[in-house]
Structure 1
Amino acid sequence: MSGRWQVSVDKTRCIGSGMCAGSVPELFELDGGLSRPVLETIDPDERVLDAAVSCPVEAILLVDTATGAEVPLE
């Protein structure tokens, strides 16, 4: 984790379960029934990683801005 994370939600996959908004409300919100990140770029945050792992349809994508690599969801 060398850089900041770019956070996005794939709107074609999101089902609006609200798990991410419920677990990290300061970083995710529901908009029109679908999730969206409050901020597009954040410092690495274990809570956001947990939200991505918990997403039932794997709609949350985290990318390391320093490398351009997807952050592994482990």
Structure 2
Amino acid sequence: MLGEYLLWIVEGIIEEKDFASLTPILINQSYTEEKRLNGREILEVSKLYQDWWEEYGLTEIENNFPLDETIYKWR
């Protein structure tokens, strides 16, 4: 859960908000029921953020976020 909370903080920074959402819980939209991600999935999301940062940094964040066009979203 710590990794998930750290990603939530990063998302808030990217979105230039105090926080990314009211609930710092990542979900996989392909699941039939809404449940928290497991450790492996959190690592996958972490990699998405790392790749996004290497490509864009804070230079092109307008309507371009790490989880866009993925199965993951913040609840």
Which protein has the bigger helix share?
2
Normalised by the length of structure 2, the TM-score is 0.27
Structure with the greater relative contact order (CA < 8 A, sep ≥ 6): 1 or 2? 1
Normalised by the length of structure 1, the TM-score is 0.27
Which structure has the greater CA radius of gyration?
2
